[in-house]
Structure 1
Amino acid sequence: FYTLILFNCQKFFDQSLPKYDIYDYIIVGSGSAGSTIASGLKGKVLLLEAGSNGDNFLLNIPILQPLLQGSPFDWNFKTSSQENSCLALQENQNSWPIGKIFGGTHQLNNMIYHRGHYDDYKWLIDKKKAEKVYKDYEENIPIDQGKFVSIISTAFVEGGKEMGFEDFSYTNLTHLNGGRFTQINNWNKLENSPETCLNAIVSRVLFDEKNPKKAIGVEFLKKGKLHNVYGRKIILSAGTVGSPKILLHSGIGPEEHLTEVRIKCRENLPVGENLQDHVTTGLDLIILNQTLGLSINDIVNPFKVADFFWFNGDGSPLALAGCDAMGFVKLNRSNEVPDLSFMLLPVGLIADYGLHLRKITNIRDEVWEKYFKPLIGQTTISILPVLLHPKSKGTLRLKSKNFLDSPVINPNYLDNKDDIRKLISGIRIIEKLIETPSMKKFGAEINPKHFPGCENFFLDSNDYWECYIRHMTMTMFHPVGTCKAGNYEDTSTVVLKNFQVKNIENLFVVDGSIIPQSPSANPHGVIAMIAQKFVNDMISTSP
């Protein structure tokens, strides 16, 4: 209700159109990549954002982040119905929250910042240069351990080390004094703030009539009307869903698919292929025998609220970003990169008694009634085993030629059996983790009740866990790959390593969609580094 009011107020006050006929740079999307690019480039820069401003102190309170999911600040996308996964979810569909707000998905996420592993970006830049680019970005964003650390997170970190895992630690977050901090917070500090045009939904890229492979602007919808704006360089930073969607509506994509939706193909490229996402499972799988001080009453305690707003926030659960500790594990210690991460969520799905959290996770009513609802009154946590490098790949397609229709997102979760095997290995690690001395202090145990739909399997057998994973298949909201970057000769390439769309002049894609393979951590850090590299490259080549 609050977000709906705020959304309408911001739309009312935010009806301006671009000031100039032509810009040096037009950037589509204000998320981690788009806002970094817009704040770094010089000249006439226009930033187009489909969402509203949302500039309100309540949106900077980390623990309120789930309330933005399913709100007007969210595109409210859902995947297509999955055949072999998501069986415990309504229509076998995962909700995919993506920010429709100034600041993009960085306004909706858990604020986790991790550089990942060199393998995640060696396709783009060498290690030494990447270090410098990371530092360029990090100079402008406060990154530190979260202000609030739950007592169970300490046990989680210590338990991981008791098992011999070195890479278990508290999460680093993009925050300032406990509050959410994004590149947008720097906007007013810039000498020449980029021009922003909010509530502007970009429909397609515009091209030169004499040269059909030369981008010259974009078409966008605002105030119920279509408008054109022109630029010398067009940069799509609308994310793994938004950028390929705009390219497809512009006639850039697989010719066969574009023909199906009656869009003339301008350039036959594999746009929308190679969709990958970090997949996980295990919501509220662990029960504790003591409370953590994170009930709704604890959160709204006036002293805790005052601590967040007027003191340093160290003791206030309002500063909890959702995940305050993580671990990384190689299933084969000879591997270069970790196979799994483990994310500790100290607040369970049942924490709000089924009012909102179960809706945004799209849990079926019968599953809620049989499995989750009976847990109300107990203390549950989630230690999510996150598959970092899934072998299953999906696609993004258009539903129709109408740009206002949501795309068809098919992540094809768990299509490859190896993904199941690794997630089961993750659950086995969790079973050992809760038996460590640090975790046993909290009486941690796996929920002993059969999951609905898996009653025919013996509890704790591999077959049972496969059934459980196929039912409780959850996204970690980290999609990448739909505009894959690579060499010109590679037929799977959409974007070249200079960020230009293959065979298209003046059109660039800079966001998570160009990452060829799911990164070895939450992708925000890698995406930010990619955007910063683009800025540095543009500045170094400008006359």
Structure 2
Amino acid sequence: MGVLTYVLVLVFAVLTALLFMGSSGPQPTKYLNDTYDYIIVGGGSAGAVLATRLSEDRESSVLLLEAGGTGDSNWFINPPLTGALIQKSSEDWNYLTEPQQHAAFGMKEQRGSWPRGKVLGGCSSINMMVYIRGSRHDYDNWAKEGCEGWSYKDVLPYFLKSEDAQTDELKNSVFHSTGGELSVSHIGHTGLSEVFLNGGHELGFKAQDTCHGPDQIGFCKMEATVRGGRRASTYSEFLKSAMNRKNLHVGVNSLVAKVLIENGRAEGVEVIRDGKSVTIRARKEVVLSGGAVNTPQLLMLSGVGPRGHLQDMGIDVKADLPVGDNLQDHLMVFLQVLTNTTMPLSAENVGNVWTMADYFLHKKGAIATTGIEGSAFLFNDGSITSDNGNPPDIQVHLESVHAFTKNEKSFENMNFKEEVRDLLFSSPARPSSFVLLPILLHPKSRGTIRLKSKDLNHYPAIDPQYLQHSDDIDTFLKGIRFLEGLLDTKPMKAIGATLNNSIPMYSLCKDYKFRSDDFWKCFVQQISVTVYHPIGTCRMGRADDSTAVVDPQLRVKGIKHLRVVDASIMRNIPSGNTNAPAIMIAEKAADMIRGKDTVEKWKEQIRGHI
């Protein structure tokens, strides 16, 4: 039995306790007003933070609308190790991409699965809790391309404002902070992270406690949004306590059908709630925080989008803007690595009464970790410093779970074909293994979000056009070749780490010589999957930028009193996981909307260090 499946069974013993802890505290608003100062659509990673900050001004009334529920009754949200089991639940939108032409060959109909949070906290409530901000060069490049106020120097204080570092290594860094709402912890458990870091050091890279220092390039311990052995989502960390405020209303199970735009101004929203359509007005602003899929969908349904597409859909055009263009996402591929040690998390060392008791009584041990213990950031030319002024090309995750075994369920939700799934999940329990995940950080391929109909209940057409640009496969190949070199280091050899063609998953490309270029290219096209990081579909840019939907103040061009605050505004995808940047965007947007500067303390902290 796979380790996460085993945990799923055993954790049942403590579900009652977890349910009680999750459902305590303030509850969503039952009856909503007709009018508020601010209406925020989407209670996810960004929306929950924005609602918390705007409602700090007690004279302002704030309404947060979320299509999903609280998630308090989903027992698998809180234990970090069971995070992957939330996919395909009622807290997931359960999206599928359009059929891909150059990727997803191992998926049914060549459609990739796209989990998206449909719950308070959004993707921060269903993700794998990785905390990565990206490269300083990502944000400096945004600023150089016309996004004034979004350089690394501008955004770093907002990352710091949110953070509440839990470990001494982070607390003692000028690039980290304590006292914010969002817990950031080191969550290594198995010892594999030390092997990983030592292997990188042998190759000449820095082995460091954090990849958030002056230089992102190198190997580092994984940081995660975990507090006291429980998931730290924007719902649990920010919003939940704010829901006690009288000026903040939170409406769950409330699906916004349309932004009401009259005479070039956003006046309010039309909401489907309790089976009825309700109109709610905004005195000051409507803010969309639905994410890179739902926000462009709602804008287009409201008449803001590409003129030709809206006309084809029979929608009156309120503003002709490139909504839904510029879709970018990170792709990853699983490389299962055999080892002769018992370090990886397995059914034996996780699914026992002592481990369960350690978590139930103390919120410690293997179940209190995510299973992702290390990360690395690399250039595709093998350079070991970032003096060239560019962000990295490749990210690597070290996953310490002995996954892809018989009966393993944690990755079966990827829409794999039956025959592919049977190969992927057929490894024996012995010998144990761990997983290396090379990630394509800056794909050259670009996709789109488009409507399929005017019916709100019809999911949009999600077409990331994965691997459409040949350079993307070439970069993947360089990342895999790097990992082959990593496995040849003394620390890796000491634990017997090897890529072996006896591993069933590698039979997917048995027509090619094992570990040849053609083999790896075939493998990438077969099973590369999303890292859950879609961005860019309401791109930020200058007023005269024809590719931009919002200006650097995040105001929708041509529509007054309408803003977008979520990952869809990112100009280009950051070098790393996107949850922390989405939270930063909300923090910065709150200051823009309120006309305040709340980060002077952190500006002073970093002065002279960047």
TM-score by length of 2: 0.82
Deviations 1:330-362 (A, max 9, x none): 2243352111010011124424x3352342122
C-alpha distance 58-454 of structure 1, shift in aligned 2 (>3 A): closer
CA shift at 1:452, angstroms? Answer: 4.5
How far apart in 2 are the matches of 1:132 and 1:374?
46
| Match of residue 247, structure 1, among 295, 299, 311 | 299
Amino acid at match of 1:403: L
Between 20-29 and 296-305, the greater mean CA deviation after superposition: 296-305
C-alpha distance 354-93 of structure 1, shift in aligned 2 (>3 A): farther
Amino acid at match of 2:542: N
User: Residue 404 of structure 2: SS of its match in structure 1?
Assistant: helix
Task: State how 1:2-401 maps to structure 2 within 5 Å.
Answer: 17-41=30-54, 42=57, 43-55=60-72, 58-122=76-140, 123=142, 124=147, 125-138=150-163, 139-166=179-206, 167-185=218-236, 186-190=238-242, 192=245, 194-208=248-262, 211=263, 213-231=264-282, 232-281=284-333, 283-292=334-343, 294-311=345-362, 313=364, 316-332=365-381, 333=383, 334=388, 336-351=390-405, 353-401=406-454
CA shift at 1:80, angstroms? Answer: 0.9
Check whether the contact 2:444–2:471 (CA below 8 A) recurs between aligned residues.
Answer: yes
How far apart in 2 are the matches of 1:384 and 1:287?
14
Within the alignment, does 1:460 sit opposite 2:495 as a pair?
Answer: no
Deviations 1:403-424 (A, max 9, x none): 1111111100000111011100
Amino acid at match of 2:297: K
Within the alignment, does 1:514 sit opposite 2:514 as a pair?
Answer: no
Between 27-36 and 258-267, the greater mean CA deviation after superposition: 258-267
User: Residue 293 of structure 2: SS of its match in structure 1?
Assistant: helix
Aligned to 1:500: 555
C-alpha distance 350-451 of structure 1, shift in aligned 2 (>3 A): closer
How far apart in 2 are the matches of 1:291 and 1:327?
23
Check whether the contact 1:15–1:223 (CA below 8 A) recurs between aligned residues.
Answer: no
How far apart in 1 are the matches of 2:579 and 2:366?
23
How far apart in 2 are the matches of 1:406 and 1:439?
45
CA shift at 1:500, angstroms? Answer: 0.5
CA shift at 1:537, angstroms? Answer: 1.6
How far apart in 1 are the matches of 2:561 and 2:31?
20
CA shift at 1:428, angstroms? Answer: 0.4
CA shift at 1:378, angstroms? Answer: 3.6
Between 443-452 and 428-437, the greater mean CA deviation after superposition: 443-452
Amino acid at match of 1:437: K
Check whether the contact 1:165–1:329 (CA below 8 A) recurs between aligned residues.
Answer: no
Check whether the contact 2:91–2:118 (CA below 8 A) recurs between aligned residues.
Answer: yes
C-alpha distance 15-526 of structure 1, shift in aligned 2 (>3 A): closer
Check whether the contact 1:14–1:199 (CA below 8 A) recurs between aligned residues.
Answer: no
How far apart in 2 are the matches of 1:486 and 1:335?
22
Within the alignment, does 1:533 sit opposite 2:588 as a pair?
Answer: yes
Amino acid at match of 2:34: D
Check whether the contact 1:254–1:269 (CA below 8 A) recurs between aligned residues.
Answer: yes
Check whether the contact 2:375–2:396 (CA below 8 A) recurs between aligned residues.
Answer: yes
Between 302-311 and 481-490, the greater mean CA deviation after superposition: 302-311
How far apart in 2 are the matches of 1:502 and 1:165?
44
Deviations 1:454-477 (A, max 9, x none): 333222211111111111121111
Check whether the contact 2:49–2:239 (CA below 8 A) recurs between aligned residues.
Answer: no
Check whether the contact 2:50–2:590 (CA below 8 A) recurs between aligned residues.
Answer: yes
CA shift at 1:84, angstroms? Answer: 1.3
Aligned to 1:402: 455
How far apart in 2 are the matches of 1:116 and 1:155?
24
Check whether the contact 1:14–1:52 (CA below 8 A) recurs between aligned residues.
Answer: no
How far apart in 1 are the matches of 2:226 and 2:422?
37
Between 79-88 and 129-138, the greater mean CA deviation after superposition: 129-138
Check whether the contact 1:49–1:101 (CA below 8 A) recurs between aligned residues.
Answer: yes
Q: For structure 2, which runs of at least 5 residues remain unmatched after alignment?
A: 1-7, 164-178, 207-217, 598-610
C-alpha distance 535-15 of structure 1, shift in aligned 2 (>3 A): closer
How far apart in 1 are the matches of 2:423 and 2:560?
56
Deviations 1:44-73 (A, max 9, x none): 000001111122565211011111101111
How far apart in 1 are the matches of 2:378 and 2:576?
11
How far apart in 1 are the matches of 2:415 and 2:135?
32
User: Residue 25 of structure 1: SS of its match in structure 2?
Assistant: strand
How far apart in 1 are the matches of 2:532 and 2:402?
18
Deviations 1:467-496 (A, max 9, x none): 111111211111101000101111111011
CA shift at 1:504, angstroms? Answer: 0.4
How far apart in 2 are the matches of 1:535 and 1:387?
31
Q: For structure 1, which runs of at least 5 residues remain unmatched after alignment?
A: none
Deviations 1:423-461 (A, max 9, x none): 000000110111111111221111315845533322221
How far apart in 1 are the matches of 2:71 and 2:468?
38
How far apart in 2 are the matches of 1:189 and 1:53?
13
How far apart in 1 are the matches of 2:558 and 2:31?
28
User: Residue 46 of structure 2: SS of its match in structure 1?
Assistant: helix
C-alpha distance 94-48 of structure 1, shift in aligned 2 (>3 A): same
How far apart in 1 are the matches of 2:564 and 2:444?
24
Check whether the contact 1:284–1:380 (CA below 8 A) recurs between aligned residues.
Answer: no
Amino acid at match of 1:164: G
Check whether the contact 1:284–1:348 (CA below 8 A) recurs between aligned residues.
Answer: no
Deviations 1:18-43 (A, max 9, x none): 53221111111111211110000131
How far apart in 2 are the matches of 1:15 and 1:497?
32
Identity of aligned residues (%): 34
How far apart in 2 are the matches of 1:182 and 1:360?
22
Check whether the contact 2:501–2:507 (CA below 8 A) recurs between aligned residues.
Answer: no
Check whether the contact 1:395–1:410 (CA below 8 A) recurs between aligned residues.
Answer: yes
How far apart in 2 are the matches of 1:297 and 1:225?
51
Between 55-64 and 487-496, the greater mean CA deviation after superposition: 55-64
C-alpha distance 143-165 of structure 1, shift in aligned 2 (>3 A): farther
Check whether the contact 2:185–2:227 (CA below 8 A) recurs between aligned residues.
Answer: no
